[in-house]
Every structure is written in structure tokens, then in C-alpha cells.
Amino acid sequence: MLSPKDFFDALRSSNVALFAGVPDSLLKDFCAFVTDNAPRERHVITANEGSAVALVMGHYLATGELGMVYMQNSGLGNTVNPLTSLADPAVYGIPMLLMVGWRGRPDEHDEPQHVQMGRVTLATLHAIGIKTTILPDSMEEAKVALELAIADAKGRSAPHALVVKKGTFDGYKLQAKDTNSYSLTREAAIEQIVAALPADACVVATTGMPSRELFEIRERRKEAHGSDFLTVGGMGHASQIALGVALARPNRKVICLDGDGAVLMHMGGLTTIGQLAPKNYYHVVLNNGAHDSVGGQPTVAFEVDLPAVARASGYPAASAATDEASLAAALPGFFAGEGPSLLEVRVKKGARKDLGRPTQSPADLTRDFSAFLQK
């Protein structure tokens, strides 16, 4: 395995000066080390992966120094536009390194949402003209691979991708001080929300822990899952799935259980919701200020007034809750009023270590949710 420190030192010794991206579970140890050891102006956790490509491009234009964009392979889709329309040698010709976590690698068990992207990761990079190197897991070989990748990026004035397999990096725990002092757990907040749901309401839950927790809460309450859509992949898109449902079924209340990182990733979606203004749309943002599912690296969501952003985007109502009591007080009026309405719920980081995964397949969940909506 590679020591995150040794590989970071190798990158800095090679004059890679800026690190930017969206954290990934396979890269979480490396990302945590960078978070702890790179100056803030040299490490930016961006809202989405495409923004990181543009940020690194701007740094190169200003300094001539290479940057690195890190991401999960599911985030490649967000980078295709800037990689092909900006960084490509046929356009501006910007050398940079990409570090891509290879979830769903063929012949390696993974969750359903990663299987297809795992199959096509290398082909996708090839199709958009990105040369790739699978990062070795020994430091001596990794240094050679890094040297060759940088030489290729500079020689072709183009991005070069280092593709990272599961288990490449040794463990490292984030040391940065946690500024989250909220007492309410996300799971407890979701349980309060579920208990207060209007009759016949449906729920669209964002990717990661919220969907897993919602599934287990339904199990504990011995309730059916048909009214819930678990968006296990596609970070940032749950709000627009919920919008599509709300517009198609105006007589049914639609609740989007969202996360802070997901909202930041595609914040422009709030303006679409606000302008279309479906009265049956209820947007709950569970904000723990972190990319909790992939290592706990911080988001900027505690520094953003999300209710104010929602109101500026056209939501008639937006409010916040910060503990069990304020959430209990907010929920009756939130669900009784007309949407679109946003409720930010500030929660603590972390999840139960024994938190399970949905035992139903995406196909089963899709079938049951569609049947619930169409009955």
C-alpha cells in the first residue's frame, strides 16, 4: 500500500501545487492527508468535479504550475465538458493530473450504482482522449508512474489520469478539528421526519447514508418501502428527481431528503424548483457540513445560509432546525404549508457502524415506487 504522506510528498516534490476535487471513498485516506497538510489556498474541496478542473486550469494559467483533480469515477461525467471543451490540447491545452477512484472495477464486488461506471471507466477516459495510468501500490513504482504521467501531461499539454484501485492507499484518519457541535444525529432527524410525514406522501432520498438510514427506519417501523425512492447514485440529482415527481403528481406531497454536499454540487437546481414553484414540494436538507459517506472531509455548507439561498431562488418559505426540539416544532407547519418550502436540519457527523444497506434491489425499489405513484 502507498503511504498517503509519501505520495503527497512525491507530488509536491514534482511541483504539483494545487489539489482540488470531490472526496471519494477509495481516496479518502489520501484526501484526508491533503486536507490536514495542504494550505487552504492550495487545497479546495469543490462543489463538483467539473469545477475542480476549471479551478486547476485557472491556477495553471496564472502560475504555470500543475494541479491535481481528485474524484470518484462516478464524477467523471461532471468533468467531460471542461476536459473536452477547455483543457483538451485541441482547445487550450492545459496539463493537469486527474486522480480517479475506480469503484466497481470488473471482477470486484461493489454496490449496484458503481458496476456500470466501473466497467466503462477506462473506456470513458480513452473516449475523451485522456491517457491513463493505473497507480501501482508500491511507492517505488508509484514514483516512476507519477514521473511518467507528469511528463506526458506536460509533453502533450493535456490531462493525464491516475486510476486508483481499491486498497491502494494505506489508512489515514482526518486530524482537522471538527467544528460540528450539533447534537442531533442524521438518523434521528430522519426518524422524526418519517413520523411526521403526511398521509400518502412520497420521499426521494439522496445518495449515501440518508437513503440507507431511511430504509432501516422503515424496517424498524415495519412500514413498506414503496413510497420511498432511494437515489443510491447520482449525487446531487435527488432534488430534480423529486421535482419531476412533484410536477407529474401535483396532488401528492413530495419530500426530498437531501444532503449538504449534494445541494452544493448542483445548487442551480434550487432555482428551477423555485421558478416552477410546485406547491407540493418539500425540500429537507440534512446538513452536517461534511462529505460523510466518503471520509468526512468538510463542505462549506455551514458557512452558507441555505434558507436564504432557497428564498432568493424563489422558494416562498425556508427555515432551519438545529436540534430535536426545534425540528419537532418546525415539522407540522412545514408539511402543512404550501411548497416549495425548504427546511435545513443541522446534524452531527457520523453514522452507526452497524448501519446496513437496502436489502431490496434498485429494480425492486423502482417498481414499487412507480406502482405507489401510479395507483
Three-state DSSP at 275 gives helix
- Which pLDDT does position 192 carry in this prediction? 97
Alpha-carbon distance of 83 to 87, in angstroms, equals 5
Helices assigned H by DSSP within the chain: 4-13, 28-37, 49-63, 76-82, 112-127, 139-156, 186-195, 209-220, 238-248, 260-265, 269-276, 306-312, 324-336, 362-374
- Which pLDDT does position 177 carry in this prediction? 74
Dmax over CA atoms of the chain, in Å, equals: 62
Alpha-carbon distance of 46 to 265, in angstroms, equals 8
What is the Cβ-side half-sphere exposure of residue 22, based on CA atoms within 13 angstroms? Answer: 24
Closest CA relative to residue 186, chosen from 45, 362, 321: 321
The angle, 0 to 180 degrees and rounded to 10, between the axes of the packed helices 209-220 and 186-195 is 50
> How crowded is residue 154: how many other Cβ atoms within 10 Å of its Cβ?
12
**Class of residue 324 by CB neighbours under 10 A (exposed 0-12, middle 13-18, buried 19+):** middle
Domains of the chain from N-terminus onward? 4-164 (3.40.50.970), 186-374 (3.40.50.970)
Alpha-carbon distance of 196 to 348, in angstroms, equals 21
Helices (H) and strands (E) in the chain, counts: 14, 14
pTM, two decimals, is 0.92
User: Any idea how long the chain is?
Assistant: 375
β-sheet bridge partners, residue 320: 344
Q: Which amino acid is at 109?
A: H
**Class of residue 306 by CB neighbours under 10 A (exposed 0-12, middle 13-18, buried 19+):** buried
- Which pLDDT does position 179 carry in this prediction? 75
Q: CB-based contacts of 93: which residues, under 8 Å, 6+ apart?
A: 87, 157, 158
Q: CB-based contacts of 83: which residues, under 8 Å, 6+ apart?
A: 53, 128, 130, 159
- Which pLDDT does position 178 carry in this prediction? 74
Residue listed under C-alpha cell 406522501? 201
Closest CA relative to residue 309, chosen from 239, 244, 254, 242: 239
Phi and psi torsions of 221, nearest 5°: -85, 0
Alpha-carbon distance of 76 to 17, in angstroms, equals 22
**Class of residue 109 by CB neighbours under 10 A (exposed 0-12, middle 13-18, buried 19+):** exposed
Q: CB-based contacts of 123: which residues, under 8 Å, 6+ apart?
A: none
What cell does 63 get? 502560475
Note if the bond before 89 is cis, omega within 30 degrees: no
DSSP state of 84: I
- Which pLDDT does position 226 carry in this prediction? 95
Q: What is the pLDDT along the chain (375 residues), one digit of tens a residue?
A: 999 999 999 999 999 999 999 999 899 999 999 999 999 899 999 999 999 999 999 999 999 999 999 999 999 999 999 999 999 999 999 999 999 999 999 989 888 889 999 999 999 999 999 999 999 999 999 999 999 999 999 999 999 999 999 999 999 998 877 778 899 999 999 999 999 999 999 999 999 899 999 999 999 999 999 999 999 888 999 999 999 999 999 999 999 999 999 999 999 999 999 999 999 999 999 999 998 777 788 899 999 999 999 999 999 999 999 999 999 999 999 999 999 999 999 999 988 889 888 888 899 999 999 999 998
Alpha-carbon distance of 245 to 316, in angstroms, equals 20
What cell does 32 get? 484526508
> How crowded is residue 107: how many other Cβ atoms within 10 Å of its Cβ?
5
